[in-house]
A = this chain, B = another copy of it.
């Protein structure tokens, strides 16, 4: 990332000149944003195995094109699938779920609690499994036609004979097998891991018995009922994790790290060795500052070797499993931010560093494929922190080629034969473009170019640029949306839409600049809408991010205030009508900015806000804040409780009543502080909502937020 070069897009989308007078409604920005205002796309687009064909689908039909043939062929229809299912006396479908190609001729899918595999072009069902009702976490091993799954707190394996075999049998509901652990942190999105040739099933075992319950209340029953969730708050007793390994042939299990019930280690990024003899785990201490890459023997669960250790004064956050080379046995790719940015490193299974594969002031954001010749296809921010491009790297020679050409945010599907890719991208100028590109980056043909779905709307002018962070050095990207029919001699109210926390980037060179359609609607209503990706946010490297360590909110606020300064310099912003809005970490930032700068903001809306990090969970919370005992000053400084009394201006806080992420206690405690200090504050609760208000309720939510600004900021 070149800090000194200012990246600027002055965007005036080239709409057709007539009929640009329509305005968006709240329903448009919520429902419409996923329908008529979502640029055209191809649903569940994917390569058909290693072939040069690719498919996409709607609920009734699977369509096929190929690299060379742009004429869509109907591959199979819902009716045809149902004919096949009926023939085998299997449950039929009401629509086609998202399918997966196992190879060029076979696809499979989950429908309700059935798994089906279909052979083409015969259109025959070649395998099916019926899972018990209430089963979850289905994990297929295709070639053996076996599936593992969880039922309540245990793991089972099942074949096409539909007879489940229990892998675990824990009666105590505090012991949970086969489910996600560590609250989805460290990239953990699965609890079951098949071995490469399907002889073993590894699975997480989580012991929750020391973890406190947080009481959620379900009001949908005749009399409201308790729904406890296990929620370890920062510094409290946490989960104890171990890894079970089930041997299918012996029908027996052993456990890795099970005996360690004291240290509350994190077992992250479970990776099978290609030969199934070992399992690699990136074992992180509870303090999250010291990682050991451990190899365990599958034979007896013992620790075979610690390949190497890595540590950081602030925090370590291992997010990616190992990726073993195909041509060079005994070597794997490991990702680390040890040099300040996420890069790929080549290691031997003895723990010796072979080479650093990528380097520079950019981040690898996604590894797409390691092909049979050990070419690594990955996406990074090398071109620009607000763009995503795909590269092909020869892991032996280090030769690198950029595959994607046009400026913007690319998402690439590499064909397994690695000769072609499907590149889907958008930018502020391009709603969506889908192209076949060769592995040299050449565009072979365009598959789809989406029309601008807003061409008939009076869309505001949007600008993406940089400003200096509070340190005077770091460039921060911002997005400024001006009111429609803009008159530089007028004074407009302004809203800062903020997130500010790690793992999120709001300003990108993608369609609408990454903004929600709501931001654009507010500009249609006459507001200036500003978003700044302050330090702490993602894709800018470790130092940019970890400055928030032990003081969440402090640096982020300083940087957001640079955004306020920017607005002040704009003559068309009425600084007496400044608003701020955000959700989750952005709700926390909204409150932080208001209580620390009383009088600066006339109106704020904070959704699902953390209000004191002591109410947040162990895994995310302790990474950034350490524990309340280790960091009392930091917790005190960032807590909003003591500062509630400083609040000025109109503030609406919104929370989902059954939020299992930022628990309700956060906002209730904050408003109690306001009440105690006789500070006016407004509140709303979505009784059935979790951390995000979703579905139809969300239209109501966005209407409420909109009305609040219209009533109190305009």
Contact = CB atoms under 8 A, between A and B. Distances in A.
Contacts of A213: 226
User: Which of A224, A225, A685 is the most central at the interface, judged by chain B CB atoms within 10 Å of its CB?
Assistant: A224
Contact of A703 (B212, B678, B699, B707): B678
Interface in A582-610: none
Q: What is the copy number of this chain in the assembly?
A: 2
Interface in A216-235: 217, 219, 222-226, 228, 231, 233
Nearest to A225: B215
B699 A678 contact: yes
Interface string A60-89: 000000000000000000000000000000
A213 B218 CA distance: 13
A686 interface: yes
Contacts of A676: 696-697
B215 A224 contact: yes
Contact of A214 (B223, B231, B672, B684): B223
Nearest to A215: B226
A683 B680 contact: no
Given A214-B223, A215-B225, A704 B685 contact: no
Given A682-B682, A704-B680, A665 B219 contact: yes
A251 to B, nearest CB: 41
B686 A685 contact: no
A700 interface: yes
A236 interface: yes
B668 A697 contact: no
A628 to B, nearest CB: 9
A614 interface: yes
Given A215-B224, A231-B223, A657-B668, A700 B675 contact: yes
A682 B680 contact: no
A217 B219 contact: no
A684 B682 contact: yes
A669 B687 contact: yes
Nearest to A688: B672
A243 B127 CA distance: 68
A671 interface: yes
A663 interface: yes
User: Which of A219, A669, A697 is the most central at the interface, judged by chain B CB atoms within 10 Å of its CB?
Assistant: A219
A685 B683 contact: yes
A686 B672 CA distance: 7
A470 to B, nearest CB: 33
Interface in A699-714: 699-700, 703-704, 707
B699 A671 contact: no
Contact of A215 (B217, B233, B615, B699): B217
A614 B221 CA distance: 12
Interface in A190-232: 212-215, 217, 219, 222-226, 228, 231
B219 A224 contact: no
B685 A219 contact: no
A657 B685 CA distance: 12
Nearest to A615: B223
A625 to B, nearest CB: 15
A651 to B, nearest CB: 12
Interface residues of A, number: 44
Interface in A243-294: none
User: Which of A215, A226, A682, A707 is the most central at the interface, judged by chain B CB atoms within 10 Å of its CB?
Assistant: A215
A675 B686 contact: yes
Nearest to A679: B700
Contacts of A685: 668, 671, 683, 685
A31 to B, nearest CB: 11
Contacts of A224: 214-215, 663-665
Nearest to A663: B224
Contacts of A236: 222-223
A228 to B, nearest CB: 8
Interface string A31-54: 000000000000000000000000
B683 A219 contact: no
Contacts of A219: 664-665, 668-669, 672
Interface in A627-644: none
A704 to B, nearest CB: 7
A705 to B, nearest CB: 12
Contacts of A707: 680
Nearest to A669: B219
A412 B667 CA distance: 49
A704 B669 CA distance: 18
A581 B574 CA distance: 37
A684 B696 CA distance: 22
A671 B614 CA distance: 30
Interface string A478-516: 000000000000000000000000000000000000000
A668 B219 CA distance: 8
A686 B213 CA distance: 23
A223 B674 CA distance: 20
User: Which of A223, A657, A664, A703 is the most central at the interface, judged by chain B CB atoms within 10 Å of its CB?
Assistant: A223
Nearest to A227: B215
A700 B687 contact: no
18 contacts: A212-B223, A213-B226, A215-B217, A215-B224, A215-B226, A217-B217, A219-B664, A219-B665, A222-B236, A223-B231, A223-B236, A224-B663, A674-B700, A676-B697, A680-B703, A680-B707, A682-B684, A683-B683
Given A214-B223, A219-B672, A676-B696, 20 more contacts: A215-B217, A215-B224, A215-B225, A222-B236, A222-B614, A223-B231, A223-B233, A223-B615, A223-B665, A224-B663, A224-B665, A226-B226, A226-B228, A671-B685, A672-B687, A675-B687, A676-B697, A680-B704, A682-B682, A685-B685
Of all A-B residue pairs in the complex, the 8 with the closest CB atoms, nearest first, are: A668-B687, A215-B226, A675-B700, A672-B687, A224-B665, A219-B665, A212-B223, A683-B684
